[in-house]
Amino acid sequence: MKQPISFKNRYGLTLRGFISHPKRYDTAVIFLHGFPGSCHGFTAQRMITALGKKHLALIFDFSHTNTSDGKFEDKLMSKEVSDIKSAIDFLEDNYSYRQLVIIGHSTGAIDASLYAHRDKRISKLVLMGAESDTKQAGKMVSP
């Protein structure tokens, strides 16, 4: 079952999203949405539903996106990359797990690839480019 979460980034902005996990898990997974997507998008919602059955799964809106704090006109890829560290710190401070997987979709894959080499806490990196359902691409799923 997914639950709403929030945490602060390095600029003091609140990032909002969802977390889901079974009673027992070893792996934490963070899914990074693309642009102009959000954690409410079809792909992100499918990912948390599927991943949350076996893993600790986190999805969130980058700063300056949808439900998270910040104005769209102040959005920068470098801020998104920084938000990844804040998400990992949030997981590390609040949950226990053995390995961490980052999955980036579209622009989220670019963000993930720019960040992953900096953080030894990341065990695996998955980069995705295609839409998971072209009929649903760009549509929002209600929170």
Maximum pairwise Cα distance, the chain: 41
pTM for the model: 0.89
The model's pLDDT over 33-73, given as tens digits with 9 standing for 90+, comes to 998 889 999 999 999 999 999 999 999 999 998 899 999 88
Note every long-range contact of 90-99, with CB atoms under 8 Å and residues 24 or more positions apart, other chains counting: 90/5, 90/7, 90/58, 91/28, 91/30, 91/56, 91/58, 92/121, 95/21, 95/28, 95/56, 97/25, 97/26, 97/27, 97/28, 97/56, 98/26, 98/27, 99/26, 99/27, 99/28, 99/123, 99/124
Has residue 140 been placed in a domain?
A: no
Number of domains in the chain: 1
Q: Which domain holds residue 77?
A: 3-128
> Residue 118 maps to which CATH number?
3.40.50.1820
Give the pLDDT confidence score for residue 132 in this predicted structure.
Answer: 57
The model's pLDDT over 64-86, given as tens digits with 9 standing for 90+, comes to 988 999 998 888 889 999 999 99
Has residue 105 been placed in a domain?
A: yes
